[in-house]
Structure formats: structure tokens, C-alpha cells
């Protein structure tokens, strides 16, 4: 269940961040409301994951995969462009999350 909670936290964080971009600096109320709800749900599910997963590991996975996913949302939805070093950095983030999950004894499998 811990990974389901963490996945929900990541998805809601990405929704909140995408809505933040869509809110046009807090000038559009509907995306702004979605931002608040997304972050609230994200922190709720993150708190559930923290019941059994160490905070540093949970936060690393949550923020790392959130960065990668919101970057993809930015490319697809907002038409943003990334350069080669950005893609390399994102790949390193994914490699770090995989390393933690496959080799760390602090993560319960």
C-alpha cells in the first residue's frame, strides 16, 4: 500500500503543479482551486506513505518522479522545450529513484 499512497501523492502533486501553471499567476480561479486541492491531496497521501517509509526516501521518490512527470506535462501540455542537459538530468533523477528502490535496504518491498 505504501507505493500506492506514494503514487497518489505524486500524481496529485503533478496535477497541482500543472494547475498552478494554468492559473496564470493566480489570475484564473478554477486552476487555482485545482492547485490547492491537488497539493492538499498530495500531502495527505504523502503523509500516509510516511507511516512506513523513511521521510528522506519517500520525499526523494515523490519529488524526483514529480519533477520528471511535470517536465513531461510541460512538454506535452504547455509546449515547453527542454535542452539536452535537462534530459540528462531527468534521466539521472530516474536512475536515482530506481537505485533507491532496487538496492536500498531502507525501502520496504
Q: What is the pTM of this model?
A: 0.88
Say if CB 79 and CB 95 are below 8 A apart. no
71, pLDDT greater than 60: yes
- Confidence at residue 101, expressed as pLDDT on a 0 to 100 scale: 84
Q: What is the pLDDT of residue 108?
A: 62
Amino acid at each position: 500500500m505504501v507505493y500506492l499512497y506514494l503514487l497518489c501523492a505524486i500524481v496529485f502533486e503533478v496535477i497541482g503543479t500543472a494547475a498552478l501553471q494554468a492559473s496564470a499567476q493566480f489570475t484564473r480561479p478554477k486552476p487555482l482551486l485545482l492547485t490547492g486541492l491537488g497539493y492538499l491531496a498530495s500531502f495527505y497521501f504523502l503523509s500516509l506513505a510516511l507511516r512506513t517509509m523513511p521521510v528522506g526516501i519517500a520525499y526523494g521518490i515523490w519529488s524526483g518522479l514529480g519533477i520528471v512527470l511535470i517536465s513531461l506535462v510541460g512538454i506535452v501540455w504547455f509546449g515547453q522545450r527542454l535542452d539536452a542537459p535537462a534530459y540528462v538530468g531527468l534521466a539521472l533523477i530516474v536512475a536515482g529513484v530506481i537505485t533507491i528502490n532496487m538496492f536500498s535496504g531502507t525501502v520496504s518491498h
